[in-house]
Structures are given as structure tokens and as C-alpha cells.
Amino acid sequence: MTFRLAIVGRPNVGKSTLFNRLVGRKLALVDDQPGVTRDLREGQARLGPLRFTVVDSAGLEDATDDSLQGRMRRLTERAVDEADVCLFLIDARQGVTPTDEIFADILRRKSAHVILAANKSEGRAGESGYLEAFSLGLGEPIRLSGEHGEGMEDLLSVLMPLA
């Protein structure tokens, strides 16, 4: 049995960097400008013994009009609706932002299983952001660093029972 994992979160939290690490190729564009991934990209991920489909979604923006932000939000909702598991990233260095909270509200209403991760957690700079993440009400977050490959064992252990 395999499953479909959607990586979701606002722009610039590190979704594409983590996607590329899981897929082992640079399929997704990584940029320090927020909002660079404007489409859904999917690839076959390998993590320990697991093989699964991973989707890199655009970030959610609080907009409902037909702007680019609205489109990114719809793409994100679609990614979530089509996924078995959502990996919701926040930036541990920035802490929980109002946009993260809007996102958490949407995810709580969805039926997909949600894994919360405090990304960019390498070093000590992410410690308070990690603690703030508990306030989102989505369970215990895991500490990740997509860029440095840290926390991948913790990700594996929460995904294992779902496979």
C-alpha cells in the first residue's frame, strides 16, 4: 500500500526544498522569493523503506478573488483534498504567523491526516517557533530541516503507521 502526501504551508516555509529532498531530484524550484511554486508538482518519494507520492503545493494566501493568491489557495485546497496525508509546514524561525493560523483552520476541516512540522529547525533558532506550533491545535509538531535533512527519521516514524 502506498499513499499520497501533500506538502502544504504558506510561501517560503521550505515546501519545495523538502519536496526535492524526498524526491531526490530538483523537480521543484526553490527560491527565496515567496510564492515561487505556483502549481502542483508531484514526484515519487523515498524515505527509508517507504515509497509514496509527494505533492508540492503552492502556498495558501488569504485571498478569495481570482488573483494569483486566490489561485494558489485553490491549488492548495485541491492538493489537500486529493491527499491521504498532509504535511503542514511552518517556519520555526519565524514562529506561527496569522497566515499559518488560517491554514490550520482549513486543515482542521479536512478529512486528510495532518502532520504538523516546524521546518527550518536546524540549530537553536527554531526552538521558540517549535513551541508556538503546539498552539495550532494540530497535535505535537515534529522538528524538521528540509535543507539540512534533519528530522527525517521523525517524519518516517509518523508516516510508517500510515503506509
Binding residue (CB under 6 A) for ligand GDP from 22, 37, 72, 136: 37
Of 112 and 151, the one with the shorter C-beta distance to ligand GDP is 151
Helix (H) or strand (E) holding 113: strand 113-119
15 binds ligand GDP (CB under 6 A): yes
Q: Which is nearer to ligand GDP, 37 or 85 (CB)?
A: 37
Of 8-16, 42-50, 108-116, 127-135, the segment contacting ligand GDP by CB under 6 A is: 8-16
Beta-carbon neighbour count of residue 20 at 10 Å?
21
Overall size of the chain counted in residues: 163
CA distances from 34 to 31, 88, 121 (A): 7, 16, 19
Closest CA to 95 of 61, 141, 59: 141
Element (H, E) at 17: helix 15-23
- Which member of 27, 36, 40, 163 binds ligand GDP (CB under 6 A)? 36
The residues that touch ligand GDP, with contacts defined as CB under 6 A, are 11-17, 30-32, 34, 36-37, 59, 119-120, 122, 145-148
Instruction: Provide the annotated binding site for GTP.
Output: 9-16, 56-60, 119-122
